[in-house]
Structure 1
Amino acid sequence: MASTGTPREMDAKLSQLASLAQKDRTAGYLALVSEILARASQDSITDDLQLLVDTVVNQDTVSLAISRQVLTELVKNLDTGHIADHGLRKHIIQGILRVLQPRIVSYEEQVTSLRFQLADLLEAEEEWTEAARVLMGISLDSGSRSLPEDEKFCIYIRIVRLLLEDEDSVQAETYYNRAALLSNSTTNRETQLQFKLCQARINDYARKFLEAAMRYHELSWAADIDEEERKELLSSAVTCAVLAPAGPNRSRVLASLYRDERSCDLPRYNILSKMFLDHILRPAEIQSFEQTLKPHQLAKIAISSNDRLASTVNDEEPSEPSSSKRTGPSTVLDRAVMEHNLLASSKIYNNITFRGLGSLLDLSPAAAETMARKMIEQGRLKGTIDQVDKLIWFCGGKEEDDAQGKAGGLGEVEHTTEDTGAPFTRRWDMQIRTTAANVETIVQHLAAKGLIQTTIVSV
């Protein structure tokens, strides 16, 4: 059995090695490293290795060439699993790094390797932030040693991924921006997918839900990713699309997800279909969806002082006891649902009173008017506000005109309409024309695929 080693014994061995000629010292130190790592008793391994490292690094009698060779061998042995105990190996690496820190410039290669090993150990313990900090300490651009750009890119991406595990999106975005500058430095498919996933998750944490939904959906088609992970990415895309601000851009993303044949197998398909079809969402459906959200997706939102002031203006009419007193949405989900229900109501009603909209959205009448005004100002809702009669008038979108003009492969068709002075009749006629044009488009697609045959009727 190998000796356990004591401080006195270790000092004696190091003194004996110091008396050897320079050409013999390297072999002696390497043999001592092997002897320490081979001990059955692990009680004194950490102290003896630190003493050995301190001797070869800080003693003027040991040349830099010898110390680097000894440290390289020690780092190699640690990396290849000579120390099986997880906690002991971590403790040894941390001790060696403390000794090397004052002279890190002379041992950058060895320190970098030790930091990678320590980060692996911390990641295995799910100490995400600590692992990221260890990697942050690696010198990527020094005068004596500079890593290739593709290696820097991989390190930045790993730091971002670790920080996002602990939901530190602010610091993660800093390192993501550094990685973005090097995104063209690698052709490795796995690394590129990790980069895109980090981009989607950062957008998610930053509440840029529309961009996050598009990135998640794009990744859900990647064949390199496991089927179960792709399903999870698609589910994340649906969640972000639901939380995105209501408007034409979100409608396009919802349409893309709704038409994805894989979406019907998701638990969130019900709320996706209702949002795509512009159905009003009910409280029970919202509560069920809320239970699936992550903490950052349930973040509280603050109402601006101007909106709060506008939402608390007293109505001239006395308020009903049952009317809501809420002056605005309280969470991200709350806002998304209110904006959706407001947009959905514009598809159902020609106009609605402030009080009626407030009852629909669970807001005070003034707060409902404020939400509608902001959406109209931002181009996400087509309509006008009559503050005298306390009405919101909804207008038909230009999308209907475009669909009617281009459907059926007719291209740009100029239409002339007679001004009858009856706006609701014109709107009804427009809906009939749009429906007829859509039916014509469906028939043409079916005929092109040979699913139906056109019959010529002779008179």
Structure 2
Amino acid sequence: MDLQARLAQIGSNSAQRDKLTACSALLTDLLSSASTPSASVVDFVDAIVNQDAVGQVIARQVLGELVKKLADGCPAAQDAEKKKDIIQGALAKIQPRLVTFDEYASQLREQLATLFEAEEAWSDAARVLMGMTLDSGARNIADEDKLRIYIRIVRLLLEDEDSVQAETYYNRAALLSNATQDRELQLQFKLCQARIFDYGRRFAEAASRYHELSWIGELDEEDRMQCLSAAVTCAVLAPAGPQRSRILASLYRDDRTQDLRSHTILSKMFLDHILRPSEVAGFEATLKTHQLAKIAQSSSDKASTAAAAARDEDVEIQDADAEPVITRTGPATVLDRAVLEHNLLSASLLYNNITFAGLGSLLSLTPGAAETMARRMIEQGRLRGWIDQVERVVYFEGGKEEEDGQGKVGGLGEVAEKKEEENLGGARTRAWDRQIRQTASSVELIVQRLTDKGLLDNLPPVSVRA
């Protein structure tokens, strides 16, 4: 007997119990054979859902059986493509009466998303889950279940690098983040949070979240090391300043980072060494697409750079043997900006002051662009100093951390306090005194280390005092 005849026979039965038994038997026959066309299963769903031949109660029970058999891998759904056709066809037939059968439609969507995810069709899987009605008043959905779906959508969208839409669903998940005690779900949310910060170029916050995750024992060792590596990458890309310095210090003191490929650039940034292009190239090869995104110079920075260039009246005539004139007016990528800002901070530790032209040569920028970058960092509180636009010089001031760190060797800390109290000649005199103390401290530390290694046994002890 063909499908339509059996459906007609089921509709002619008057007893509800007989209809349920007949529908279950027909469904079993359809799904127990691998040769059953997917269209036949879809026609069966259409008949019980839309034709009112069996009633809502029986239709719901039969749909529940269909969902369970598909999830268990019945013979008719062994082939992934065929299973996708069955589910997509069933969802299309259920759509007109979605309010009645919403629960089973949601379960079918989760199965379909799993099939797309197995094929790495991330955006298709995310769109399937987005079609679920989680805020409908027709049925009560637990907040924990909503959170699980939102996190899954965020993860799928991030795999496809759709960070804008992912952030929308992350914000929904954030409202429900306290609704679960499931440790695995909590960790998934934290990982999504770190990745959202990463894609949103909030690198300092992303580095902190990744580093926190790298210490969680429930994660596999490989996953923890991936989080640690991501933390180092985001810390390097973060805007230069006190916040990044704290993160770099935390990562540098983590012994596990010594095994990472990015440890070299991490150590150079932490120690405030100026980075050279050859050192940056290897690190750049490890970055993801969104971390290599191009950045555009803001209109205010363009105007400032143009004004600075117009004020520059000391243009030197280049001869044939001179180095080519630098024409770059700003960073091109996120990494480029991070490296330039880091080198500027490093320069502030090497020099008391530097001309715009000298700073531009150091950063491979035009003098006007170098001035603009220094000005912006000073305005944002990430660089301590001031600018003399008449003399075209940037003056650097020692930061609090630097001042606190001076004079710790040979009792020089007391000397620092006395110098501050004496106030011999203002800020520039004190800056000069600090530089002398720093040099004396460094020399004494070097001599002490050479003595400890027995390299100065034949020489009298050396002690340097400021």
- Hey, what does 1:420 align to over in structure 2? 424
Q: Deviations over 1:346-399 (max 9, x none)?
A: 111121111111111110011111111111111111112122222111111122
- Hey, what does 1:47 align to over in structure 2? 39
Which 10-residue stretch deviates more, 391-400 or 417-426?
Answer: 417-426
- Hey, what does 2:328 align to over in structure 1? 326
Q: 1:413 to 1:220 in 2, by over 3 A?
A: farther
TM-fit CA distance, 1:400? 2.9
- Hey, what does 2:7 align to over in structure 1? 14
Aligned pair count?
431
Please give the residue correspondences for 1:7-86 in structure 2 after superposition, counting only pairs within 5 Å. Answer: 9-22=2-15, 23-42=17-36, 44=37, 46-82=38-74, 83-86=77-80
* Percentage of matched positions with identical amino acids: 59
Q: 1:374 to 1:437 in 2, by over 3 A?
A: farther
Match of 1:200 among 179, 191, 194: 194
Please give the residue correspondences for 1:35-434 in structure 2 after superposition, counting only pairs within 5 Å. Answer: 35-42=29-36, 44=37, 46-82=38-74, 83-312=77-306, 313-314=309-310, 315-319=312-316, 321=318, 322-403=324-405, 415-417=417-419, 418-421=422-425, 422-431=429-438
Q: 1:436 to 1:288 in 2, by over 3 A?
A: closer
TM-fit CA distance, 1:306? 2.2
TM-fit CA distance, 1:184? 0.8
Quote the Cα distance in structure 2 between the aligned partners of 1:141 and 1:97: 19
Quote the Cα distance in structure 1 between the aligned partners of 2:253 and 2:295: 32
2:152 counterpart SS class: helix
Indicate if the aligned counterparts of 2:329 and 2:366 stay in contact, CA closer than 8 A: yes
RMSD, aligned CA = 2.5
1:262 counterpart SS class: helix
Q: 1:104 to 1:424 in 2, by over 3 A?
A: closer
Q: 1:15 to 1:438 in 2, by over 3 A?
A: farther
Indicate if the aligned counterparts of 1:90 and 1:118 stay in contact, CA closer than 8 A: yes
Indicate if the aligned counterparts of 2:84 and 2:115 stay in contact, CA closer than 8 A: yes
TM-fit CA distance, 1:120? 0.9
TM-fit CA distance, 1:61? 3.3
Letter in 2 for 1:318: V
Letter in 2 for 1:19: S
Quote the Cα distance in structure 2 between the aligned partners of 1:320 and 1:246: 35
Letter in 2 for 1:170: V
Indicate if the aligned counterparts of 2:34 and 2:78 stay in contact, CA closer than 8 A: no
Quote the Cα distance in structure 2 between the aligned partners of 1:16 and 1:414: 100
Letter in 1 for 2:424: T
- Hey, what does 1:451 align to over in structure 2? none
Q: Deviations over 1:115-162 (max 9, x none)?
A: 111111111111111111111111222223111111111111111111
Quote the Cα distance in structure 2 between the aligned partners of 1:432 and 1:361: 25
Quote the Cα distance in structure 1 between the aligned partners of 2:445 and 2:255: 21
Q: 1:181 to 1:424 in 2, by over 3 A?
A: closer
2:181 counterpart SS class: coil
Letter in 1 for 2:42: Q
Which 10-residue stretch deviates more, 132-141 or 188-197?
Answer: 132-141
- Hey, what does 1:445 align to over in structure 2? none
Q: Deviations over 1:230-280 (max 9, x none)?
A: 111111111111111111111111010111000111001110000000111
- Hey, what does 2:462 align to over in structure 1? none
Indicate if the aligned counterparts of 2:407 and 2:438 stay in contact, CA closer than 8 A: no
Quote the Cα distance in structure 2 between the aligned partners of 1:406 and 1:151: 56
Quote the Cα distance in structure 1 between the aligned partners of 2:392 and 2:240: 23
Quote the Cα distance in structure 2 between the aligned partners of 1:148 and 1:70: 24
Which 10-residue stretch deviates more, 422-431 or 81-90?
Answer: 422-431
Q: Deviations over 1:38-90 (max 9, x none)?
A: 22424x2x121111111111223321111111111111111111021111111
Letter in 2 for 1:134: V
- Hey, what does 1:454 align to over in structure 2? none
TM-score by length of 1: 0.89
Letter in 1 for 2:185: T
2:387 counterpart SS class: strand
> Unaligned stretches of 5+ in structure 2?
319-323, 447-466
Indicate if the aligned counterparts of 1:219 and 1:233 stay in contact, CA closer than 8 A: yes
Runs of 4+ aligned structure 1 residues displaced above 2 Å come to 141-144, 319-323, 400-408, 411-425, 428-439
Letter in 2 for 1:106: T
Quote the Cα distance in structure 2 between the aligned partners of 1:35 and 1:200: 49
1:415 counterpart SS class: helix
Q: 1:129 to 1:27 in 2, by over 3 A?
A: same
1:318 counterpart SS class: coil
Indicate if the aligned counterparts of 2:357 and 2:367 stay in contact, CA closer than 8 A: yes
Indicate if the aligned counterparts of 1:220 and 1:231 stay in contact, CA closer than 8 A: yes
Quote the Cα distance in structure 2 between the aligned partners of 1:141 and 1:373: 49
TM-score by length of 2: 0.87
TM-fit CA distance, 1:97? 0.5
Q: 1:120 to 1:424 in 2, by over 3 A?
A: closer
